[in-house]
Amino acid sequence: MEWWIVTILYEDNHLLVALKEPFILSQSDGSNTPDMLTLLKKYLKEKYNKPGNVYLGLVHRLDKEVGGVMVFAKTSKAASRLSEQVRLHKFEKYYLAVVKGIVESDTYKDKILREEYQSKIDKKGKDATLSFETLDVINNNSLVKINLLTGRHHQIRVQFSERGHYLLGDSRYGKKGKYSLALYAYHLAFYHPVTKEKLVFENIPSKGYFSKFNVKQLLKK
């Protein structure tokens, strides 16, 4: 798979912001599945005609099934400073999801324990917190805007499923659906590692389960 399948949203000497499509990995797992890090390194190598290995730092991850906005660091200094923002919860990460049933805006606080391929609510786990706003309900399915306050493995999927509101299309924690997983990382904001300017990037999903909702209009309210 070639790098031009990836949409570049922003690039300077320090950063690269791109859209990850569902079923592309954030980084290689040793299989033949395409991953963002490898694709974007190919892009940089070809665009700038760079010999040898190209540096690109992975700052955060999205699950394989999840699409959305990601930022990568083009220098080790940028990688270190962005990673520090992640650690200090200075990244703004908002997701959109379509969940089964009618849910009212709320905050979920649990402890999540990661197992090999999935996670579960368990008092031995790590703190997991998210808050969300319900934007609309159609056919007993709720469109929610989620502020992810911690970044545990499969956190959003586990916390909603635990309360009987699995994400549509989630074959692992809910049931297989007509479309792929209804979870999208639509908003990412952080401070530029050099200029300190706040940068905000958004991309609104319109396919699959999201196509049933007027997402763009609902986010303007």
Q: Which of 12, 29, 35, 63 is catalytic?
A: 63
Do residues 153 and 87 make contact, with C-beta atoms less than 8 angstroms apart?
no
- Indicate the pLDDT class of residue 11, thresholds 50, 70 and 90: very high
Q: With 90 as the cut, is the pLDDT of residue 52 above it?
A: no
Residue 200: give its domain's CATH number. 3.30.2350.10
Q: Which has more pLDDT, 176 or 142?
A: 142
Residues 51-60, mean pLDDT to the nearest whole number: 92
Threshold 0.85, pTM exceeds: yes
Residues 50-62, mean pLDDT to the nearest whole number: 92
The length of the chain, given as a count of residues: 221
Q: Calculate the average pLDDT of the chain.
A: 94
- Indicate the pLDDT class of residue 2, thresholds 50, 70 and 90: low
Cα gap 32→14, rounded to integer Å: 29
Task: State pLDDT tens for residues 15-49.
Answer: 999 999 999 999 998 888 899 999 999 999 998 88
Q: With 90 as the cut, is the pLDDT of residue 151 above it?
A: no
* 170 noted as active-site residue: no
What pLDDT score was predicted for residue 3?
60
What pLDDT score was predicted for residue 4?
61
Cα gap 98→182, rounded to integer Å: 5
Residues 137-147, mean pLDDT to the nearest whole number: 97
Number of domains in the chain: 1
Beta-bridge mates of residue 191 = 198
Q: Could you tell me which residues come within 8 angstroms of residue 181 by beta carbon, excluding any fewer than 6 positions away?
A: 22, 65, 66, 157, 167, 168, 169, 170
Domain boundaries, position 204: 3-220
Residues 126-141, mean pLDDT to the nearest whole number: 96
What pLDDT score was predicted for residue 177?
87
Query: Hey, is 190 helix, strand or coil?
Result: strand
Choose among 213, 93, 86: nearest CA to 156: 93
Count other Cβ atoms within 10 Å, centred on residue 176.
Answer: 9
Residues 70-87, mean pLDDT to the nearest whole number: 96
